[in-house]
Amino acid sequence: MSGEAIGWAFRKVQMDDATAKFVLVGICNYANDEDQAWPSHASLAKITGLSRSTIQSAVKRLEGWGIINRVSRTRENGSETSAKVFIDIDSHWIVKDGTATKATGGIPAAGTQGVQQPVQGIPAAGTPETTSKPQKEIGELPLGAPAPSGDLEKQFFDRAVQIITSSPKDARSTAASLRKACGMDIAKARSALELSAGKSDPAHWIRGHIAWLKKKSNEPTDSTVLMSGADDRHVLM
């Protein structure tokens, strides 16, 4: 149990979604000294008294807001086990009406604006879920679309740290290699980065995509390449 993590959930995460808050505290109950936890939905159901479906929905909202980051794990036999959850106890969050605001270093004062992260496709507590067409993940860019305005390079590397959760240093190194393989084109690299977010191992997928880009760059421009069984890396080109 991490008393520091539980204290963070109570004091530094302010939200009007009581169910998600309760589940977050439950996750923090299992956190280690490195702010990582991997409780199963069954374990969270046992300590919170909530149903597994309610917990799954709350975890999706917490992940969509960016308050937690989850990494899938598998056993030696290949079957899935509980995901590893990463939390950032140095950040302050305010969640209101399905929109999350992050303010590193302190809760924003009244009238100020933080970094707003509206949750798309994840219903707020008490809102019926629908089976309408899937929404894009948070921060996802349409393929070929320009990256958001502002400091594009900083946004790109910050997003890489969110997606590749092994360590910030490894994430930035992998992102730098991806940008170089994309000819230093931030928009193109960002599109590839967002596509990797839907994979079970984003870093592994990106390394494979980099290798494919390098191979493609060495092919004669007038050659015709026939590919069968090509994976979705190639849709970026």
Indicate the CATH number of 3-118 among 3.40.190.80, 1.10.340.30, 3.40.50.720, 1.10.10.10: 1.10.10.10
pLDDT at 50: 92
Supply 55's token pair.
């917990």
What mean pLDDT do residues 129-140 have?
39
- Which is more confidently placed, 134 or 173? 173
Provide the sign of the torsion angle of the four alpha carbons 35, 36, 40, 41, taken in this order.
positive
Tokens of 98: 């399905």
What mean pLDDT do residues 6-14 have? Answer: 89
What distances in angstroms separate CA 54 from CA 1, 17, 19, 25, 26, one per listed residue? Answer: 23, 12, 8, 15, 13
- Is the pLDDT score of 45 beyond 70? yes
Spatial separation of the C-alpha atoms in residues 142 and 140, rounded to whole Å = 7
pLDDT bin (cut points 50, 70, 90) of residue 61 is very high
Query: 184 and 190 in contact (C-beta within 8 Å)?
Result: no
Tokens of 68: 């937690």
Using CA of residue 197, residue 203, residue 205, residue 208, what is the dihedral sign? positive
Cα 36–Cα 70–Cα 191 angle in degrees, nearest 5? 135
Query: Residue 136 and residue 156: Cα distance in Å, rounded?
Result: 17
Decide if 85 contacts 38 (C-beta within 8 A). Answer: yes
User: What pTM value is reported for the model?
Assistant: 0.44
pLDDT, average across residues 175-201? 87
pLDDT by residue (tens digit) across 99-108?
988 875 554 4
User: Mean pLDDT over residues 27-39, rounded?
Assistant: 83
pLDDT at residue 234, rounded to an integer: 41
What average pLDDT does range 203-210 have in this prediction? 91
Q: Taking a C-beta distance cutoff of 8 angstroms, is the pair 67, 24 a contact?
A: yes
Q: Give the 3-state secondary structure of residue 116.
A: strand
Find out whether 38 and 73 touch, Cβ atoms under 8 Å.
yes
Whether residue 135 has pLDDT greater than 60: no
- 95 SS3 class: strand
Q: Which of 59, 58, 69, 50 is nearest to 125 (CA)?
A: 58
Mean pLDDT of the chain: 74
Q: How are strands ordered across the β-sheet holding 91-96?
A: 13-15, 91-96, 99-104, 115-118
**Which tens digits make up the pLDDT trace of 65-90?**
988 888 876 677 666 666 778 888 78
- pLDDT value at position 220? 57
The domains of the chain are located at 3-118, 152-236
* pLDDT the model gives residue 223: 38
In Å, how far are 179, 209, 212 from 215, measured between CA atoms? 15, 10, 5
